[in-house]
């Protein structure tokens, strides 16, 4: 009885712990599934032993037919046999060395085996969900890369262009946790503005072109900035293309054409 209360308290505690973001959901969920399994096995074992202990003929029970005068033996011996039977039944191994003898035990076995069908489905479904959830980003990345390869092959794209597409896709998944655009979209404008100020304010202030500008203009510029990542050897701005974006290089380097750079600076100054 004490062990049952401990299991119930542990499961209730893990239910609250699952909602706490400070702890790993995978670990807390896994521990909870283990506790649920142990609770079911322990409860069934205790009740099965109770049926045998309260039967009027001890030899006409599942444990009395194997161990004579089991009531006078250690309670841990009976608990060990009960847990062994419960685990064997739960896992559907069915060795047959411990089996129901009287009608009451057979009825209990029927309901316990039917209960095990639902419990096993619950455990397998939750473990599958945890494993798939942990690998879902890998599956999406592999599917995206396969789509790019099929598209490049179907349209007979040059090898260099195909490699640029693959490099960009791989970099996108590597830096997905740094961008988190979908998270920011759900936040109010004031919070998004404060986040942008925290992330990009110092970058703008260190940029040579924006040195000496007013604080209000700096705040307006920072709000419209967003982080973007490019793999090596990728053209950011094509030659003779009218630029619509302004880039500040935070890390890495860029090779540029002088005539193209002059055109871009003319557009910036004119606008």
Q: How far is CA 254 from CA 29, 169, 208, 209, 235, in A?
A: 47, 20, 17, 17, 9
pLDDT tens-digit readout, 194-242: 877 777 777 777 777 777 777 777 777 777 777 776 667 666 666 666 6
Dihedral sign of CA atoms 19, 24, 29, 35 in order: negative
Residue 103 has pLDDT above 80, yes or no: yes
Q: Which of 65-74, 186-195, 204-213, 251-260 has the lowest mean pLDDT?
A: 251-260
Spatial neighbors of 13 by CB under 8 A, at least 6 apart, are none
Q: How open is the CA angle 214-215-218, to the nearest 5 degrees?
A: 90
State both tokens at 9: 């308290």
Residue 134 has pLDDT above 70, yes or no: no
For residues 62 and 27, the answer to whether their CB atoms sit within 8 Å is no
Q: What is the mean pLDDT of residues 260-264?
A: 47
Q: How open is the CA angle 232-235-239, to the nearest 5 degrees?
A: 155
Return phi, psi of residue 61, to 5°.
-130, 170
Return phi, psi of residue 270, to 5°.
-65, -35
State both tokens at 128: 């599958």
Residue whose structure tokens are 């007979």: 156
């Amino acid at each position: 009885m004490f062990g049952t209360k401990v299991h119930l308290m542990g499961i209730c505690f893990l239910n609250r712990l699952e909602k706490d973001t400070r702890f790993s959901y995978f670990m807390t969920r896994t521990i909870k599934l283990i506790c649920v399994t142990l609770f079911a096995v322990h409860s069934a074992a205790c009740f099965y032993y109770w049926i045998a202990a309260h039967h009027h003929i001890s030899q006409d029970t599942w444990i009395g037919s194997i161990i004579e005068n089991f009531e006078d033996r250690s309670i841990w011996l009976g608990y060990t046999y009960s847990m062994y039977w419960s685990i064997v039944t739960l896992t559907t191994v069915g060795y047959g060395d411990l089996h129901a003898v009287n009608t009451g035990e057979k009825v209990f076995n029927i309901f316990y085996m039917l209960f095990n069908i639902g419990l096993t489905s619950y455990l397998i479904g939750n473990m599958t969900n945890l494993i798939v959830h942990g690998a879902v980003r890998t599956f999406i990345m592999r599917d995206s890369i396969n789509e790019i390869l099929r598209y490049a092959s179907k349209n007979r794209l040059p090898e260099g262009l195909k490699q640029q597409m693959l490099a960009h896709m791989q970099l996108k998944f590597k830096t997905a946790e740094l961008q988190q655009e979908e998270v920011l979209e759900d936040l109010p404008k004031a919070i998004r503005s404060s986040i942008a100020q925290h992330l990009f304010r110092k970058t703008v202030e260190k940029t040579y072109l924006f040195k000496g500008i007013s604080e209000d203009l700096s705040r307006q510029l920072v709000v419209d900035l967003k982080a973007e990542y490019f793999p090596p050897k990728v053209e950011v701005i094509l030659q003779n293309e009218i630029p619509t974006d302004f880039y500040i290089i935070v890390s890495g380097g860029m090779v540029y054409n002088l005539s193209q750079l002059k055109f871009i600076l003319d557009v910036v100054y004119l606008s």
